[in-house]
Structure 1
Amino acid sequence: MFFIIVLFSFLYMGAAYVLKRRKQLRQWPLHRCIFWILGVSCAIFAVDGPLAEQAHTDFNCHMTAHLLLGMLAPLLIALSVPMTLLLRTVKISFARRLTQVMKIKIVHLFFHPVVAAILNIGGLWLLYTTNLYSVMHTNMVWYVVIHMHIFIAGYLFTVSMIYMDPVSCRYPFAYRAIVLVLASAGHGILSKYIYANPPAGVVAAQAKTGGMLMYYGGDAIELIMIFIFCLQWFRATRPKAFASVRRETSL
């Protein structure tokens, strides 16, 4: 586990170092490197190590891993803007081809706010209201597939709500705000459903504490996302006023 964290961190830091060597480009911010390391660490800790082992028998540990893998890790990695770093590091010809791939309709569809929300929240409803949860802990293939889906869907949803990396199509803030509110409501309702209706193989006591952890822990992470979203909206709609305030505070 530690080796994987070091490997991914080294790859990201290596790309940042390449930018530093190119004097014509601005140095890559340190805080983005920190976001990357924290995000990768959250994802790895969720699927490997003591927490992942206990998650097979303890629903509270499972829910903690869910929050790390499906919400916190995607948010932190999105804040590290990995696609921007990649596009600045590789050759211009490859960057252009990669940009063209991002514009393909089927690829673009996955970054649509509604589609990303359905994949994210809908996948969780399917996991906890069917026998998939119990199957996941007895079948390694399903275990890997479901955890990959949780992370990828969480990341797609995050980057479809807050635009940190370059995107081929920017949806209006009001449109994304509606989707964000509905998705947040869907996540909250699911946590209450789990509280009252334990998934297959989960005892009632753990379902209650796990549901509460999902509800309040999810809200805490969503509040961070909402703050970033509102800040981006404010900067986009009142750029002159924000710039003047920033100049005054810097004096």
Structure 2
Amino acid sequence: MAHDGHGSAAPALLLIALVAAGYLALAVRPRFRRWSRWRAAAFLTGLALLAAATAGPVAALAAIDFRGHMLQHLLIGMLAPLFLVLGAPMTLLLRSLPAARARRLGALLRGRAAHLLANPVTALVLSVGGMVVLYCTPLYRHTMTNGWLHAAVHAHFLFSGYLFAWVIAGPDPAPRRPPVPARLVVLGVAIAVHAGLSQLMYAGIGVDVAVPEDQRRGAAEIMYYGGDLAELLLAVALVAGWRPDRRVRRGPGPDGRAPVGSTCPQLSEPGAHVPGGRTPG
């Protein structure tokens, strides 16, 4: 456990500060209507958790103790992404862009790449599968001696954690998001794999982490209980944001216009942005 991550803390903190400033600059602009303070607070909380994971006592502990590494992983890969997603940054960006640029971004969100990434199974494989690869192969040992690889693993967990939280419970629009029961099933699979991996780590079976036994077991407990907390919060966010769509599609009226209450075909989410119109804050 000789890796020292302090050298990369300053650029990470600078990037976090720039993202926070950009988000706040968009949030206070008087375009359309006032942005939700709750969403702004959630996004800033996510950035604060990222800052805590990349600098200060958590980062110092992670450099010398596997339990600190696991706490860092929990913050970067699970808790921070959840709060960032709840801040709805894409919705804020869409409603702040001019109509033409918003339409182009909306088209990108409806593209094939977005469809692939927005599939919960894809997000599940990237998130949970990444953990299995890190701890059940020699990858973790290599990250302790290679700073670039260490940073790349952190970036992967942040990206995959954000993607998973977005497709499961994100308020931002996503193309063809499955119904809530299907997403709950995917979340249940993630919980099961996460719990199983932490139990294997506690027992020292099937994992490749050359650390003292007390650190390995302590880290497994952090993974088990901390992961449960993060996944419970994600499930709460999913159920709390569930708005069953009881609207019925009807044909056009006598004047040729779509009837009031018909669904919008642009993005299959209730909060989807309509370029040039209003987006929920």
TM-score normalized with structure 1 length: 0.88
Q: Does 1:232 align with 2:241?
A: yes
Indicate whether 1:12 and 2:19 are aligned. Answer: no
Kindly provide the CA deviation profile for residues 20-39 of structure 1, in whole angstroms up to 9, marking residues without a partner as x: x23xx220011111111110
Deviation digits for residues 159-194 of structure 1 (CA, Å, limit 9, x no counterpart): 111131011212122211111101111111111111
Contact 1:5 1:37 in 2 (8 A): no
Q: Distance in 2 between matches of 1:170 and 1:69?
A: 24
CA distances 1:59-113 after superposition (whole Å, capped 9, x unpaired): 1111111110001111000110000000011111111111111122123201100
Q: Pick from 132, 139, 145: which aligns with 1:132?
A: 139
1:6-29 deviations in Å (ceiling 9; x for gaps)? 3322111100111xx23xx22001
Specify the SS of the correspondent of 1:165.
coil
1:237 to partner: Cα distance: 6.3
Distance 2:144 2:219 in 1: 17
Residue of 29, 34, 39 corresponding to 2:41: 34
Shift of 1:56: 2.3
Instruction: Please give the residue correspondences for 1:180-195 in structure 2 after superposition, counting only pairs within 5 Å.
Output: 180-195=187-202
Distance in 1 of aligned mates of 2:71 and 2:128: 17
* Ranges in structure 1 where 5+ consecutive residues have no aligned partner: 240-251
Alignment partners' CA distance in 1, 2:203 and 2:88:
39
> 2:76 aligned with 1:65, yes or no?
no
Aligned length: 234
Cα gap change, 1:155 to 1:139, in 2 (>3 Å): same
Indicate conservation of the 8 Å contact 1:199/1:207, yes or no.
Answer: no
Q: Per-residue CA shift, 1:211-241, capped at 9, x if unaligned?
A: 01110111011111111222233x32689xx
- Aligned with residue 223 of structure 1, among 217, 229, 232: 232
Residue 201 of structure 1 and its aligned partner are, at CA, apart by: 2.1
Choose between structure 1 and 2 for higher RCO, CA contacts under 8 A separated by at least 6 residues: 2
Which stretch has the larger CA shift, 211-220 or 103-112?
Answer: 103-112
**Aligned to 2:244, what secondary structure does the other structure show?**
helix
* Aligned positions of 1:148-187 closer than 5 A: 148-187=155-194
Instruction: Determine the C-alpha separation between the residues in 2 that align with 1:6 and 1:118.
Output: 30
Give the aligned CA root-mean-square deviation in angstroms: 1.7
What TM-score does the superposition give when structure 2 sets the normalisation length?
Answer: 0.79
Structure 2 stretches lacking a partner, 5+ long: 1-9, 248-281
> Which deviates more from structure 2 when the two are superposed, residues 126-135 or residues 38-47?
38-47
Q: Distance in 2 between matches of 1:76 and 1:137?
A: 28
Could you tell me which amino acid in structure 1 is paired with residue 48 of structure 2? S
* 1:78/1:158 contact within 8 Å kept: yes
Which structure would you say has the larger Rg? 2
Structure 1 residue 207: deviation in Å?
0.7
